[in-house]
C-alpha cells in the first residue's frame, strides 16, 4: 500500500490566518455596536456580527482546506460548499 503524501501551500495558510483575524475584529466591533444600541437596531447589529463571524469561520477553514495538497485528487461539490456556510453562520 502506497503512503499518501501531503504538503501545505504556505501563502494560503497565511491568508487563512489573516481572514480569521479580520473576521474576529469585525465581529467584535459589531458586538460593541450591540452594546451601544438600545432599540430594535440591536438585533440587526447582532445578525450582522453573526454573519461576519460565520463567514469568517467558513472562509478561514475553506482557504485552509485549499492550502492542504494531497497526492490524490480532491474535488468539492459546489452545493455542499454553499450549504456548509449555514452552520457557521447559525452557530455564530
**At how many degrees (to 10) do helices 10-36 and 41-67 cross?**
170
pLDDT in tens, 41-50: 888 888 888 8
d(CA 92, CA 83): 16
Provide the grid cell at 91.
Answer: 452557530
Domain boundary assignment for the chain: 10-91
- Binned at pLDDT 50, 70 and 90, residue 3 comes out as low
Task: Give percent above pLDDT 90 in the chain.
Answer: 33
Provide the grid cell at 18.
Answer: 489573516
Residue 56: predicted pLDDT: 92
What's this model's pTM, rounded to 2 decimal places?
0.78
Residue 2: predicted pLDDT: 57
Residues forming beta bridges with residue 68, ordered by sequence position: 8
Q: CA torsion angle for 51, 92, 61, 63 (degrees, to 10)? A: 10
pLDDT in tens, 51-84: 889 999 999 999 999 999 888 888 889 999 889 9
For the chain, give the mean pLDDT. 88
Amino acid at each position: 500500500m502506497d503512503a499518501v503524501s501531503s504538503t501545505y501551500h504556505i501563502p494560503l495558510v497565511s491568508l487563512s490566518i489573516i481572514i480569521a483575524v479580520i473576521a474576529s475584529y469585525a465581529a467584535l466591533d459589531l458586538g460593541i455596536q450591540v452594546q451601544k444600541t438600545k432599540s430594535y437596531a440591536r438585533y440587526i447589529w447582532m445578525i450582522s456580527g453573526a454573519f461576519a463571524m460565520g463567514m469568517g469561520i467558513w472562509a478561514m477553514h475553506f482557504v485552509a482546506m485549499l492550502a492542504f495538497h494531497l497526492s490524490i485528487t480532491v474535488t468539492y461539490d459546489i452545493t455542499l460548499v454553499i450549504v456548509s456556510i449555514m452552520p457557521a453562520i447559525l452557530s455564530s
